[in-house]
Amino acid sequence: MKENRFHCESAELNFIEGPPNGLPILLLHGATKNWQSFSPLINDLMAYLHVLAIDFRGHGKSKHMAGAYKLQDYLMDTQCFIMEYIKQPTIILGHSLGGMIGLMAAAKYPQLVSSLIIIDAPLTTASLRKLAQEQGAFANQLIQWLKISKFLNVTSFNNGAIPESLSQCDPDMLHAIINDFEATFHQYSIEELFPKIKCPILLIRGNTIRGSLVNDAEVEQVKTLLPKLKDIKLPHAGHSPIRQDKQLILKEIRAFLKKILNV
């Protein structure tokens, strides 16, 4: 597995790539994370798939892009990476923000997405808006620390209490999510996007009691718009089930892909 750089327009994305062991699968991480958030799954997926994973703009080792952190910006990078680097229809596996971008890609560029695996990605913006409001004070403190750390070239905070992925984030990206919420997420409309999605979708979600951002009512609403949706709820997991239910997630992914793509 190797790490590399990809240039598209003004964006410069860090990405990793495994051997070409099968159909391509693109891993899209959540906000404030990086490609390493998929580490528990990557080796198993590489056994039968061509695994690629990017760091979104403003995350990980990718270029910071001040003032360009709307969903449409992440979508543009994803479209460009598939079209110019992968160059064939791709399975997208997205967690949280990455799942939202996967859904948008399948709706707007159906020729690029063969199937979707979505892990606890918000189906509406309601849960995200609530989280942004609840975490606003802490997030704004973090934004100030990130700005200072960039200026002083500080790379750790509170003896490592802040994860590396968070310390790598562009403070402008966090500002867009917390303080410019409506402009950042306004293009994420289930009524407009979801009826356009034709590919098979596997949704793996946690329990709202444990922090999941996907509730039962939203899933039932979305099922009327996405007839090819398969819904798997993990009652003991929260918003980050990859580390909590790794083996079950790998099993569900393999069964889903074998059924629809025979891989």
Q: Which residue has the tokens 């356009």?
A: 196
96 is catalytic: yes
Query: How far, in Å, CA of 217 to CA of 76, rounded?
Result: 30
The Cα 50–Cα 93 span in angstroms is 12
Q: Which amino acid is at 113?
A: V
Residue with tokens 């979505």: 118
Q: Which of 37, 62, 96, 167 is catalytic?
A: 96
- Locate the DSSP E strands across the chain: 2-8, 11-17, 24-28, 50-54, 90-95, 113-119, 201-205, 229-233
Q: What angle do CA 162, 46, 100 make, to 5 degrees?
A: 55
Q: How far apart are the C-alpha atoms of 95 and 37, rounded to whole Å?
A: 9
As annotated, the active-site residues are 96
